[in-house]
Amino acid sequence: MKPFPLWSPLLLLIRPDSMLTFSLPPSRAVPALEALVRQRILILDGAMGTQIQALGLSEEDYAGCGCRHHAERPQKGNNDLLILTQPQAIEEIHFRYAMAGADIVETNTFSATTIAQADYGMESAVEDLNREGARIVRRALDRATALDGRPRFVAGAVGPTNRTASISPDVNDPGYRAVSFDDLRMAYGTQVRALIAGGADLILIETIFDTLNAKAAIFACFEAFAEAGRRLPLMISGTITDASGRTLSGQTPTAFWHSVRHARPFTVGLNCALGAAAMRPHLAELAGVADAAICAYPNAGLPNAFGQYDEGPDETAAQVARFAREGLVNVVGGCCGTTPDHVRAIACAVADLPPRTLV
């Protein structure tokens, strides 16, 4: 890599892009992850939603009495807020995933942006949510590592928000956008800076249905890395929404890869929407074009008529093991409907299978 040029402070002001980002020193997690991912298939955790639902929490439990962020609106369903109002319950879920075999555990911050939290009137809580969200995972992982000595990594989870920068939500006005690139960039910037402050080892931009939203998140990461003075590994995960094999904003896996390749991610991959069986051909396409590690974390099959997931741990694990036998994956885990038992079964099923070859 070329030495950092003397005029680089100017770049900080005008070009917080890939050129600057790759001049930054890598964070401690970079060499550790790059070595591990060549040795074996790494395990990512599973769904938070199923575990939180099982707690049967009430409105009072969600809103909490110890939370200094008070909103007028009901908070039941605001799962991210539980980081502040039920921290022990959230830490326990992370701990169970770590003990089930997860090397990388995600923060409970999928909707912790000012944009997504606006639905609950909780925009003021996003910095606390992300900082504490990362700290809670770190605590859970340190407890697990104290028991078995295995290193584990905190992935700061960055969701797509509930708005799309590429598509109009108004059929009568196709030029209308509910959110702009800069709105997203600012919201993601606040989230990512707080995740880094809380100790996130890497950033996982996930469930990408609109690549333009993801590009704003990548740009925000680059800005946050420049401020922090170090480059964290990025995991980028798209979502194929239907049988056409495209994201909601219309990209095939190949197009999606070429749209995010400039970020030089640690992993690129797919999650959510489909079960492992339906995800397989799209994953194979991505693995055929991408020169990054490949990460896949499918749902536990397709949802039934009640929106629930019926696929058991062994069934999901058998499908994910097939990805591994075909040489498609470097990191695997579970999305909607998966549990610590699914992650344990997945970890067990791929334990003796080699990771996809990286060049």
68-107 mask for Zn ion (x: CB under 5 A)?
A: ----------------------------------------
Long-range contacts of 137-142 (CB under 8 A, 24+ apart): 137/94, 137/105, 137/106, 137/107, 138/198, 138/199, 139/91, 140/91, 140/92, 140/94, 140/95, 140/98, 140/105, 141/94, 141/98, 141/105
Is 221 part of any known ligand binding site? no
Between the two ends of the chain, the Cα-to-Cα distance in Å is: 18
Q: What is the smallest separation between the CB atom of 209 and Zn ion, expressed in angstroms?
A: 11
Q: 201 vs 206, which CB is nearer to Zn ion?
A: 206
In one-letter notation, the amino acid at residue 123 is E
CB burial of 245-262 (b: ≥16 within 10 Å; e: otherwise) equals ebbbbebbbeebbebbbe
- Least distance (Å) from Zn ion to the CB of residue 20? 33
Residue 97 phi, psi dihedral angles, 5° rounding: -65, -40
Count of Cβ atoms closer than 10 Å to residue 172 Cβ: 6
Give the contact letters, 239-278, x = binds to Zn ion (CB under 5 A), - = no: ---------------------------------x------
How many chain residues bind Zn ion (CB under 5 A)?
Answer: 4
Instruction: Report the candidate in 163, 145, 257 with the shortest Cα–Cα distance to residue 201.
Output: 145
210, with CB counted inside 10 A (0-12, 13-18, 19+), is: buried
Least separation in angstroms between CB 207 and Zn ion: 6
Q: Counting contacts by CB under 5 A, is residue 157 touching Zn ion?
A: no
Considering only 104, 205, 335, 346, the residue that binds Zn ion (CB under 5 A) is: 335
Does position 349 bind Zn ion by CB under 5 A? no
In 107-163 the beta strands, taken as DSSP E runs, fall at: 153-158
- Give the interface segment with Zn ion, choosing from 112-120, 185-193, 314-322, 330-338 (CB under 5 A): 330-338
Query: Residue 271: in which H helix or E strand, if any?
Result: strand 267-275
CB of residue 298 vs Zn ion: minimum separation in angstroms? 8
295 near Zn ion, rule: CB under 5 A: no
Hey, what amino acid is at 162?
N
CB of 148 to Zn ion, least distance (A): 28
- Give the CA angle between residues 318, 320, 321 to the nearest 5°: 65
Q: Which is nearer to Zn ion, 179 or 336 (CB)?
A: 336
296 binds Zn ion (CB under 5 A): no
Minimum CB distance to Zn ion smaller for 195 or for 336: 336
Q: Residue 335, annotated ligand binder? A: yes
Count the Cβ atoms, other than its own, within 10 Å of residue 294.
24
Q: Taking contact as CB under 5 A, which single stretch among the options 170-178, 209-217, 283-291, 297-305 is the one that binds Zn ion?
A: 297-305
Q: Which stretch binds Zn ion (CB under 5 A): 145-153, 216-224, 244-252, 292-300?
A: 292-300
Task: Count CB atoms within 10 A of the CB of residue 225.
Answer: 24
Partners of residue 270 on adjacent β-strands:
238, 296
Least distance from C-beta 335 to Zn ion, angstroms?
3
Q: How many CB atoms lie within 10 A of CB 171?
A: 7
CB of 50 to Zn ion, least distance (A): 10
Nearest residue (CB) to Zn ion, 336 versus 346? 336
Segment near Zn ion (CB under 5 A), from 15-23, 159-167, 196-204, 295-303?
295-303
Q: How far is the CB of 167 from Zn ion (least distance, A)?
A: 20
Residue 348 annotated as binding?
Answer: no
336 binds Zn ion (CB under 5 A): yes
Q: Which is nearer to Zn ion, 85 or 319 (CB)?
A: 319
> Residue 56: how many CA atoms within 13 Å on its side-chain side?
0
Which residues make up the interface to Zn ion (CB under 5 A)? 272, 299, 335-336
Annotated binding site for Zn(2+): 272, 335-336
Annotated binding site: 272, 335-336
